Chain A
Amino acid sequence: MSFRRLAVVASLLPAALSAADKVTYNEHIRPILSANCFACHGVDASHRKAKLRLDTFEGATAEREGVRAVVPGDPQKSELWHRIVSPHEDEVMPPPDSHKAPLKPEQRDLVRRWIEQGAVYQKHWAFEAIARPEPPSPAGGASDHPIDRFVGQKLAAAKLQLSPEASRETLVRRLTLDLTGLPPTVAEVDAFLQDRAPGAYDRLVDRLLASPRYGEHFGRHWLDAVRYADTHGLHLDNVRHIWPYRDWVVRAFNRNLAYDQFTIEQLAGDLLPEPDTEQLIASGYNRNHLTTAEGGAIEAEAEMRNTADRVDTTSAVWMGLTANCASCHDHKFDPLTQREYYAMGAIFKGLADRVWDGNVRLPGPIVTIAEDPKLQARIHQVTREVTPLERALTARVEALIAGGKTVAKAAKTPVAYEVIFAEDSDLVAVSDFRAPPAAGEWRTGADVPVAGGKRALRLEGRAERKFNFTAEDVRLTVPTEVRAFVHFQPDAVRPPRAVSVEFVSKEKTRRMIWGDRTAFGPEVAATALYGGPLPAAGAYARLELSACDGGVAEGKAYTGVRVAQSDGAGWWDRAGAAIKSPSEADDPLLSSAAWSRPLRTAARDNFELPIRHDIKFLLGLSGNQQNEEEKARLERYHRDYINVRFRPDVEPELHAVRRLMSEQTYHELTYPSTLIARERDEPLPAHVLVRGQYDKPGEKVEPATPSFLPPAARSGARLSRLDFARWLVDPQHPLTARVTVNRYWQQLLGAGLVRTPGDFGVQGEMPTHPELLDWLASEFVRTGWDVKRLVRLVVTSRTYRQDSVTPPALLERDPENRLLARGPRLRLDAEVLRDQALALSGLLNPAIGGPPVRPYQPANIWEPVAFGGSNTKTYVQDKGAALYRRSVYTFWKRTAPAPAMATFDAPARETFCVGRARSNTPLQALALMNDVQQFEAARALAERLLLRTSSDGERLKLAFRTVTARAPDGVELKLLADTLSTHRAHYAGHTEAASQVIANGESKPSATLPVAEFAAWTMVANLLLNLDETIVRN
Chain B
Amino acid sequence: MNPSHEFLNHFTRRQFFSGAGLALGGLAFNLLAPRLRAAKGPDALNARVHPPLAGFPHFAPKAKRIIYLHMNGGPSQLDTFDYKPKLQEYFDVELPDSIRQGQRITTMTSGQSRFPVAPSIFPFKQYGQSGAWVSDLLPWTAKVVDELAIVRSVHTNAINHDPACTFLMTGSEIPGKASIGSWISYGLGSDNNDLPAFVVLTPRFSPKVAAQALFTRMWSSGFLPTTHNGVALRAGADPVLFLENPNGVDPMTRRTMLDALNQFNQRAHARHGDPETLTRIAQYEMAFRMQTSVPDLTDFSGESAATLDMYGPDVKTPGSFAASCLLARRLAERNVRVVQINHRGWDQHGTLPEHLKIQCLDTDRGCYALIADLKQRGLLDDTLVVWAGEFGRTVYSQGTLTKTNYGRDHHPRCFTVWLAGGGVKGGVVYGETDDFSYNIVRDPVSLHDLNATLLHCLGIDHLRFTHRAQGLDQRLTGVEPAKVVKAILA
Contacts and interface: CB of A to CB of B under 8 A. Distances in A.
A101 interface: yes
Contacts of A1000: 246-248
Contacts of A979: 256-257, 260
A997 B106 CA distance: 55
Interface string B446-462: 00000000000000010
Interface in B383-399: none
B276 A825 contact: yes
B34 to A, nearest CB: 20
B335 interface: no
A961 B99 CA distance: 75
A322 interface: yes
Contact of B272 (A624, A762, A806, A868): A806
A7 B7 contact: yes
Interface stretch (B40-48, B124-132, B225-233): B225-233
A531 interface: no
Interface in B180-235: 196, 202, 210-217, 220-223, 225-227, 229, 231-232, 234-235
B213 A1 contact: no
A428 to B, nearest CB: 38
B220 A908 contact: yes
Interface in B153-190: 159-162, 174-176
Interface string A950-973: 000000000000000000000110
Interface in A204-236: 233-236
Nearest to B109: A296
Contact of A930 (B176, B202, B215, B245): B245
Contacts of B257: 929, 979, 983, 1019, 1022-1023, 1026
Interface residues of A, number: 114
B382 interface: no
A625 B108 CA distance: 9
A46 interface: no
Interface string A876-918: 0000000000000000000111010011010010110000010
Residue of A234, A896, A921, A995 with highest tally of chain B CB at under 10 A = A921
A237 B273 CA distance: 45
Contacts of B110: 624
Contacts of B263: 975
Contacts of A57: none
Contacts of B306: none
A298 B273 contact: no
B393 to A, nearest CB: 12
Contacts of A807: 273
Interface stretch (B83-91, B281-289, B415-423): B281-289
B290 A763 contact: no
Nearest to B290: A922
Contacts of B241: 858, 899, 903, 923, 926-927
A865 B215 contact: yes
Contacts of B279: 920
B378 interface: no
Contacts of A919: 225-227
A465 B245 CA distance: 58
B471 interface: yes
Contacts of B217: 895, 908, 910
Contacts of B229: 902
B264 to A, nearest CB: 5
Contacts of A868: 210-211
Interface residues of B, number: 96
Interface in B462-476: 463-464, 468-472
B107 A624 contact: yes
Nearest to A693: B157
B162 A929 contact: no
Contacts of B268: 1027-1029
A544 B223 CA distance: 69
Nearest to B243: A926
A897 B216 contact: yes
Nearest to A1001: B246
A305 interface: yes
B47 to A, nearest CB: 16
A235 B110 CA distance: 20
B226 A296 contact: no
Contacts of B470: 1, 316, 322, 324, 758-759
B3 A8 contact: yes
B261 A1026 contact: yes
Contact of B214 (A333, A811, A864): A864
Given A99-B463, A908-B220, A997-B246, A808 B273 contact: yes
A1015 interface: yes
B213 A5 contact: no
A172 to B, nearest CB: 17
Interface in A280-317: 290, 292, 294-299, 305, 308, 316
Contacts of A234: 162
A926 B226 contact: no
Given A99-B464, A295-B107, A997-B248, A858 B272 contact: no
A949 interface: no
Interface in B137-154: none
B299 interface: no
B250 interface: yes
Contacts of A994: 248
B486 interface: no
Contact of B213 (A236, A325, A763, A925): A236
Interface string B240-284: 111111111110111011001101110111011111110111011
Nearest to A863: B202
B240 A923 contact: yes
Given A290-B175, A905-B226, A971 B267 contact: yes
A33 to B, nearest CB: 15
Contact of B249 (A624, A858, A997): A997
B396 to A, nearest CB: 14
B107 A860 contact: no
A927 B215 contact: no
A971 B110 CA distance: 75
B225 A867 contact: no
A695 B226 CA distance: 35
A624 B111 CA distance: 8
Residue of B226, B277, B468, B469 with highest tally of chain A CB at under 10 A = B226
A1005 to B, nearest CB: 12
B283 to A, nearest CB: 5
Given A2-B221, A858-B241, A922 B107 contact: no
B472 to A, nearest CB: 6
7 contacts: A101-B2, A624-B108, A805-B273, A920-B279, A925-B286, A993-B249, A1028-B268
Interface of A: 1-9, 99, 101, 233-237, 290, 292, 294-299, 305, 308, 316, 322, 324-325, 333-334, 623-625, 695, 756, 758-759, 761-764, 804-808, 811, 815, 825, 827, 858-860, 864-868, 870, 895-897, 899, 902-903, 905, 908, 910-911, 917, 919-927, 929-932, 935, 971-972, 975-976, 978-979, 982-983, 986, 992-1000, 1015, 1019, 1022-1023, 1026-1029, 1032, 1034
Given A305-B174, A1027-B261, 20 more contacts: A2-B226, A3-B469, A5-B3, A236-B213, A292-B162, A295-B106, A759-B470, A806-B273, A807-B273, A825-B276, A860-B236, A896-B216, A899-B242, A920-B276, A930-B242, A931-B242, A935-B246, A979-B257, A996-B247, A1019-B249
Of all A-B residue pairs in the complex, the 3 with the closest CB atoms, nearest first, are A296-B106, A996-B248, A7-B7
Interface of B: 2-4, 6-7, 10-11, 14, 104, 106-111, 159-162, 174-176, 196, 202, 210-217, 220-223, 225-227, 229, 231-232, 234-236, 238, 240-250, 252-254, 256-257, 260-261, 263-265, 267-269, 271-277, 279-281, 283-284, 286-287, 290-291, 409-410, 461, 463-464, 468-472
